[in-house]
Amino acid sequence: MSEPPAIHLQNVSLTRDGRTILDRLDLDVAAPGITAVIGPNGAGKSVTLRVIDGLIRPDAGTVRLSPGRRAFVFQRPALVRASARANVALGLVSLKLSRRERLERIDAALARVGLLERAGDAATRFSGGEQQRLAFARAWAMRPDLLLLDEPTASLDPAATETIEGLITEMAGAGTAVLLVSHNLGQVARLADETVVLAAGRAVERGPTRSLLFSPRTVEARAYLTGELPWTSFAAAS
């Protein structure tokens, strides 16, 4: 990695209610580029994103982020009870933009996700997929340096998924470091340069996406990718 990583996690551990959620996790995310995190339910993928975003403080370890703007699109979008336009505007409050630039950027973002005609409608009345597209419009409008994505297209139809995947690729091409959590392995193969497999709170394997997906080296990655019951394999492996 020539550039310093956009995200550097080292030895990060988190315990809740006596359970180990993250177990000395190491994770580097390159900038620019798309890094995917895959792994079974409960592996700690969402928690890792929340640790990176500062929503959860780990018990131990180092979390270092390169400076810059950060956007997070959750599996269930966090929207306020206001118009679609106002929701996109919220992402821009800390940016120094003229009123005209701000309005142009908001409308361009809404148009990009096919919601411009709905700009004045109440966001909380949108369908799940429309809300997700709106959350993406907000993230895109911010031009973030770091984009954290948790199952970003889980509720989207194929056409909307294609639009969003195009946006993700475009943002990475413009210099954003993207960290993508997804169970959609086709999507991971289409988008991610590098993929990390998380199992029981540890990064058990990492590599270029295609070689990792097609020839995993570890028992945990193989178990996840072939759909075997991972918890029994992990118990046996650890």
Ligand X SMILES: Nc1ncnc2c1ncn2[C@@H]1O[C@H](COP(=O)(O)OP(=O)(O)OP(=O)(O)O)[C@@H](O)[C@H]1O
Binding residues for ligand X (CB under 6 A) = 16-17, 21, 39, 41-47
Nearest to 152, CA basis, from 167, 170, 174, 172: 167
Integer Cα distance of 234 and 238 in angstroms: 6
Whether the Cβ atoms of residue 221 and residue 193 lie closer than 8 Å to each other: no
State the residue for tokens 């800390």.
94
Closest to ligand X by CB, 74 vs 102, is: 74
**Contact at 8 Å (CB) between 185 and 217?**
no
Residue closer to ligand X, measured from CB, 15 or 169: 15
CB of 86 to ligand X, least distance (A): 29
Of 141 and 149, the one with the shorter C-beta distance to ligand X is 149
Task: Please state, in angstroms and rounded to a whole number, the distance separating the CA atoms of residues 95 and 112.
Answer: 20
C-beta of 214: minimal distance to ligand X in Å?
Answer: 22
Smallest distance, ligand X to C-beta of residue 43, A:
4
Query: Tokens for 160?
Result: 């909307």
CA-CA distance, 183 to 39, in Å (whole number)? 8
Beta carbon nearer to ligand X, 29 or 84: 29
**Least distance (Å) from ligand X to the CB of residue 75?**
7
